């Protein structure tokens, strides 16, 4: 069994870097655990950014504002996610420091009250239809990540409203999305499929394939297969994989944007 386990890890590392086409001027935004590499020469104050999945770390979301003055919309229906956002608002207005993930030794937000006021928070999830769905609990009470697909195989759940990405864009009056972040505990496959089927104008996609974190041994190979299948759909649709870490947090940039930035 140890031989199998030891062989899976280097295989996962090698596959994670397959298809990566490096893009100059990528900058890291956000904390170590919830940050991504983002083109540093693309986003502006007119850029529309959808951050789907907040949990208790919205470091990437806030740095899109502090670095680029982008228009940021956060989507997460979980009570603890809303409480975290509201706690950040209160602390910032009072001039106090506030930590992500309730970790006083970790990432601390550096955003002004005025900048924070520009962020729109919506208590709705993104899925492939408009309905009320079950978000299943994680195995650890301290883990901020409920899952529609029941990624951790638990029985308890929270019911919350979800809607299609295309419906939310129409409601908010957006014809395109400059940057879409997906940290949604296994639902990313469905949302990506739905986005491609609806032919939405999304220029940059940041996605964490969470299944990789919750599978062990041979089941991790199946998770990698799912990740590769979803990634190849994006590549076939005209995206380039500009960055990937070994645990499958990935930055996809649409080819026309990629080529313009590379030039």
- Residue 170 has a pLDDT of 98
Q: What is the pLDDT of residue 217?
A: 64
Task: Tell me the pLDDT band of 2, cut-offs 50, 70 and 90.
Answer: very low
pTM for the full predicted model: 0.93
Which pLDDT score is estimated for 16?
80
Is the per-residue pLDDT at 42 higher than 50? Answer: yes
Q: Give the chain as a 3 state SS string.
A: CHHHHHHHHHHHHHHHHCCECCCCCEEEECCCCCCEEEECCCCCCCCEEEEECCCCCCHHHHHHHHHHCCEEEEECCCHHHHHHHHHHHHHHHCCCCCEHHHCCCCCECCCCHHHHCCCEEECCEEECCCEEEEEECCCCCCCCCCECCCCCCCCCEEEEEEEEHHHHHHHHCCCCEEEEEECCCCCHHHHHHHHHHCCCCEEEEEEECHHHHHCCCHHHHHHHHHHHHHHHHHHHCCEEEEEECCCCEEEEEEHHHHHHHHC
pLDDT for res 12: 66
Among 10-19, 20-29, 80-89, which is the least confidently predicted range?
10-19
The 10s digit of each residue's pLDDT in 114-166 is 999 999 999 999 999 999 999 999 888 877 888 898 888 899 999 999 999 99
Number of domains in the chain: 1
Banded model confidence at residue 1, pLDDT cuts 50, 70, 90: very low
Residue 184's pLDDT is 95
Domain that holds residue 213: 2-262
Specify the pLDDT at position 199: 98
Output the domain CATH number for residue 130.
3.40.50.150
Q: Mean pLDDT highest for which of 4-8, 102-106, 113-117, 185-189?
A: 113-117
Task: Give the tens place of pLDDT for each residue, 191-235.
Answer: 999 999 999 999 999 999 987 665 566 666 777 889 999 999 999
């Amino acid at each position: 069994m140890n031989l199998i386990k030891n062989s899976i890890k280097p295989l996962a590392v090698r596959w994670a870097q397959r298809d990566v086409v490096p893009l100059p001027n990528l900058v890291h935004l956000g904390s170590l655990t919830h940050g991504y590499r983002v083109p540093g020469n693309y986003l502006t104050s007119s850029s529309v950014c959808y951050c789907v999945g907040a949990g208790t770390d919205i470091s990437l979301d806030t740095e899109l504002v502090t670095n680029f003055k982008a228009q940021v919309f956060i989507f997460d229906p979980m009570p603890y996610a809303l409480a975290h956002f509201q706690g950040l608002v209160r602390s910032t207005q009072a001039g106090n420091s506030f930590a992500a993930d309730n970790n006083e030794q970790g990432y601390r937000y550096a955003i002004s009250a005025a900048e924070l006021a520009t962020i729109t928070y919506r208590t709705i999830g993104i899925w492939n239809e408009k309905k009320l769905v079950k978000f299943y609990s994680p195995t650890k009470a301290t883990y901020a990540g409920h899952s529609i697909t029941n990624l951790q195989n638990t029985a308890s759940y929270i019911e919350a409203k979800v809607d299609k990405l295309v419906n939310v864009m129409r409601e908010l009056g957006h014809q395109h999305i400059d940057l879409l972040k997906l940290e949604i505990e296994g639902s990313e496959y469905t949302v990506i499929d739905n986005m491609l089927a609806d032919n939405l104008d999304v220029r940059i996609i940041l996605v964490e394939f969470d299944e990789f974190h919750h599978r062990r041994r041979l089941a991790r190979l199946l998770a990698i297969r799912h990740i590769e299948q979803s990634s190849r759909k994006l590549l076939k649709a005209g995206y380039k994989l500009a960055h990937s870490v070994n645990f499958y947090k990935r930055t996809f940039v649409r080819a026309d944007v990629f080529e313009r930035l590379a030039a």
